[in-house]
Structure 1
Amino acid sequence: MSQSIGFVGIGAMGSAIASRLVDTNTLLVNDLNPALALPLEERGARFAPLDEIATCDVVFLSLPGPDNVLKLLLGDGGLAEKMGPGSLVIDTTSSTPIVDEGLVRDLAVKSISYIDAPIAGGVRRAYDGLATLMVGATDEDFARAEPLLNTITSNVFHLGPVGAGHAAKLVNNLLNHCNRFATVEMITLAERYGIPPDVMIDVLNVSSGRSYVTDYTYPEIVFPNLKQGFTLELMRKDAHLAGALADHVGQKLRVGSLVAEMMDEAVERLGGSADQTDLMQKWYPPVTD
């Protein structure tokens, strides 16, 4: 049954998630850049001020990072001051369970429920309903949110209490970053020996070196020279958030810490607004004959 849903943050990934909801719900959207709403408005969504978003029983967030979430919900005049008791916040932002702990406590005072449901798999797969949602929630809140989450994708995993989704997303993203750097390095090594990148990718995809990067990113994004819709600054943010999570639980990340340093270098060299594809194409100098 259609219901009124609020959605704040309709950048690349937010728009993809919202596109899965707009056909079966009354969707109110908000973003600092109102022009981003146009494709969704053409399908029936409506751009609305935050005061109106706060009247929705369910509000999705897809923001750049945890600081943005805290400011939006708990800052002066934030959404939490205006949302009614029994409201539900579904946060798809890549954040951290360390932040979630405080959010749950502060929102509970106002009888507002919160679940973390970050998404992985890339913008294109999110539009196609093929991405993955990693959810941290109470059983009651998950049951309430599950029909909406299943509209976004069939790959929905309830991993435990609030914070579990964000923890899993950080693990996933840092592992993907590790695979990305390792694959670029090995593809370049093969190319310098004379093996074309597309041939090496075909070999890896039927061998033990296969990964999401070889199976999807190279053939579907890098070789066609497309953009993945995820910036290097966001990659760097996730790498360092994963490091903070490791510190929080007392684990030393040897490979992960190195990759976080490499992300700092990538942002310095290529710029924070560069796409993941730029990293894979420009990290090493082109191989010439």
Structure 2
Amino acid sequence: MKIAFIGLGIMGSPMAVHLQNAGHDVTGYNRSPEKTRALVEAGGTAASSVADAVAGAEVVAVMVPDSPDVTEVLAGEDGVFANAAPGALVIDFSTIRPDVTAELAEEARDKGFRLLDAPVSGGEAGAQNAALSIMVGGSAEDFAAAQPVFEAVGKTIVHVGPSGSGQTVKAANQLMVAGNIALLAEAVIFLEAYGVDTAAAVKVLGGGLAGSAVLDQKAQKMLDRSFEPGFRIELHHKDLGIVTSAAREAGVVTPLGAVVAQLMASARANGDGSLDHSGLLRVVERLSGRSG
């Protein structure tokens, strides 16, 4: 298929490359043009604008940071709805507010487009290994049509309901991941305070009920104090804002989520927004009076 891919950052770039390697004809656009390099090296094409990228595309994939970015890319004056061919299938891989997704889906239908919200989980490693979990909201027919795209970038691909449902499930995912990271950070600082062999401790913890994907992927980063971003704190801060806002609207109480959201906000306020979310360890260190 002829695919336009808008947003070639940490996640979008490897996803676009996988699509190109799967035999699709991918044209990519990113506000920072140098980020199109990997796609071009894989045989894809770099576009100079969204309008240029979507010209003639059967599928338009979007992977940008936040709700205003998606709204601008899709509904802006120079965006997808104004320039793509009617009938194009638009797949939004971004993580944004469910209500914004529902509004954009309605606008897409009015303009003759099909929109799926398809946020992903798995971080940079999942994107690089084409092993993402993809939670998809939209019609069953459009979900079926998007399968070749999803199968090129993901491993666990599930249709979870109508428009907005993918974003709601992703919000729950981000709530759980943040909670796991916060507790792992507390456990690491606790173990270090007692002089335990932390590498050995992590190994045995991973073999029991405390084991998790978060422990597998983030514990070593914490032990090494190596926080090169796979998923940035500032983005998880944004996602927890989505969770707390949506929970409030639904009348749902998330007391642990509220605490973790404040810890993530503290990390960002202390200048750690560009670090991997495992850098939440630094908040626990500061609170424990153990930071350097």
- For the aligned pair, the TM-score class normalised by the smaller chain equals over 0.9
Deviation of the 1:223 alpha carbon: 4.6
Q: Give the aligned partner of residue 248 of structure 2.
A: 247
Q: Give the aligned partner of residue 36 of structure 1.
A: 35
Q: Which runs of 4+ in 1 moved over 6 A?
A: none
Deviation of the 1:247 alpha carbon: 1.7
Q: Give the aligned partner of residue 207 of structure 1.
A: 208
Q: Which moved more, 1:5-14 or 1:155-164?
A: 155-164
Matched letter for residue 14 of structure 1: G
Could you give the per-residue CA deviations for residues 186-224 of structure 1, whole angstroms, max 9, x where no partner exists? 1211221221221221121122222222122224x4456
**Distance across 1 between alignment mates of 2:161 and 2:124:** 25
Paired residues in the alignment total: 285
**Distance across 2 between alignment mates of 1:105 and 1:203:** 50
Root-mean-square deviation (CA, aligned residues, Å) is 1.8
Q: Mind listing any 5+ residue stretches in structure 1 that lack a counterpart? A: none
Q: Give the aligned partner of residue 53 of structure 1.
A: 53
Contact 2:184-2:219 within 8 A present in 1 as well: no
Match of 1:6 among 4, 7, 14: 4
Matches within 5 A, 1:198-277: 198-219=199-220, 221-223=221-223, 225=226, 227-277=228-278
Distance 1:229 1:215, change over 3 A: closer
**Distance across 2 between alignment mates of 1:243 and 1:107:** 27
Counterpart secondary structure, 1:251: coil
**Distance across 2 between alignment mates of 1:116 and 1:242:** 16
Deviation of the 1:102 alpha carbon: 0.6
Q: Give the aligned partner of residue 72 of structure 2.
A: 71
Matched letter for residue 202 of structure 2: I
Contact 1:243-1:257 within 8 A present in 2 as well: yes
Matches within 5 A, 1:78-157: 78-157=79-158
Matched letter for residue 116 of structure 2: I
Contact 2:198-2:223 within 8 A present in 1 as well: no
The percent of aligned pairs where both chains have the same amino acid is 28
Contact 1:191-1:287 within 8 A present in 2 as well: no
Contact 1:6-1:60 within 8 A present in 2 as well: yes
Structure 1 length as normaliser, TM-score? 0.93
**Distance across 1 between alignment mates of 2:81 and 2:181:** 38
Q: Give the aligned partner of residue 180 of structure 2.
A: 179
**Distance across 2 between alignment mates of 1:267 and 1:235:** 10
Contact 2:119-2:167 within 8 A present in 1 as well: yes
Deviation of the 1:249 alpha carbon: 1.7
**Distance across 2 between alignment mates of 1:125 and 1:87:** 27
